[in-house]
Amino acid sequence: MVTAPILYGLPHSLYTGKVRSFLRKQGIAYCETPPSDPHFTGNVVPKIGRGIIPVVELGDGTLVQDTVDIIDHFERAGVRYTAYPPTPRQRTVAHLFELYAVLGLTRHAMHYRWSYLAEQEAFLRDAFGVGGDPERTAATMARMNSYLPVLGVSDETIPAIEDSYRQLLGGLEAHFALHPYLLGNQPSTGDYSLFGPLFAHLGRDPVPLAIMQRAAPKVFRWTERMHAPDLDLVEYGDACDQPGFAADDAIPATLGPVLDQIAAELLPGLTDRLEVLQAHVASGAARPGQPVTAKPHQRIIGQAETSFRGVAYTGGVQPYTFFLWQRLRDAAGDSDPVRKLFAAHSLSPLLEAKLPIRVERAGNIEVWGELAD
């Protein structure tokens, strides 16, 4: 008898949401278990070296951590709705949303969760209390709240973050009025990546959820669709009989304003973080084959002086960001249609900037890859 995979995660976890949505869409049976489970704390955490979710434990005991690795594991085994478009423009755009969701929308998600704690404290205490006691709940919530400064959430940046959220909802609302998913009639890795913050925080916590439901009902409906065990295309006529990505590697015109917003918000932070990485590599601190940090739970290699929508802040530099950026560039390859598309939306620096070293995943952590020529 084959044992169903165990997904260690929580309903309010951003990255668990991404994996859960993927598993449901593929019809993959799984058992979701909280990280307070004794087996997780006593056996899983020692093996992966840090307390982090989501983690999938396969029937043979193999552990897979990180949303990219988990999705790619099941993709290799074969799925009914692949998350990866086979054509270069769509695949690269899917990876662009993957990158934006992590570097961009994590800030929005954490702001709306913790800056409005007083308005939604009972809801959050109930969510964070799963499998724990009041003391542990309070400690976990305080730790998560403490991450706001390194994400660039401050009194100065909050107005820009909220303007950005409203703009993004408007752009996605116009798109989902015509299309069920970002790139056609089935979700891509871009959809799963966006779903993490747009559901677990922004589409579930009371304050941002109310904003979404009032201002962008079709975005809220998309979060429901992403959680459904089928394609859930009831609003799109006979589309339920036609799963697949848009024909001819087309990028829907309705995504144009969203791509413009991504360029404006993503590039300053990436450019400034790249300078920190370049200095880190030049110092000899990044050795190919070695973990990117001294301990698995450490996620950053330094701080960057940067900005968000013109507002200055100091943010952490995570090698994982460059791992995702690399995936985008690998998907683009030397495709001329990709370059033309990115040029049309001021995204060309993502393809042209020189990355000094690769970042890879091995043993459930990030490691330094090959140095650039």
Residue 318: is its pLDDT beyond 60?
yes
Q: Using CA atoms, how far apart are residues 346 and 190, in angstroms rounded to an integer?
A: 19
Tell me how far the alpha carbon of residue 139 is from its chain's centroid: 25
| pLDDT, mean of residues 346-359 | 98
Considering the chain, what is the average pLDDT of its residues? 95
Percent of the chain predicted with pLDDT > 70: 98
Q: Using CA atoms, how far apart are residues 333 and 339, in angstroms rounded to an integer?
A: 10
pTM of the predicted model over 0.85:
yes
Q: In this structure, is the dihedral angle defined by the CA atoms of residues 20, 21, 26 and 27, taken in order, positive or negative?
A: positive
- E-strand ranges in the chain read 6-8, 31-33, 55-57, 63-65, 303-308, 311-316, 357-362, 365-371
The 3-state secondary structure of 31-55 reads EEECCCCHHHHHHHHHHHCCCCCCE
pLDDT of residue 150: 85
- DSSP secondary structure string for all residues of 165-182: HHHHHHHHHHHHTT-SBT
Query: Is 265 within 8 Å of 308 (Cβ atoms)?
Result: yes
Residue 277: is its pLDDT beyond 60?
yes
Confidence of residue 256 (pLDDT cuts 50, 70, 90): very high
The angle formed by the CA atoms of residues 182, 184 and 190, to the nearest 5 degrees, is 35
Write the single-letter amino acid at 261: Q
Question: Could you give all domains of the chain from N- to C-terminal order, each with its CATH number?
Answer: 6-77 (3.40.30.10), 88-253 (1.20.1050.10), 255-371 (no CATH)
Alpha-helical segments (H) within 129-176: 134-145, 148-151, 158-176
More confident site: 17 or 150? 17
Residue 316, token pair as written in the block: 């952490």
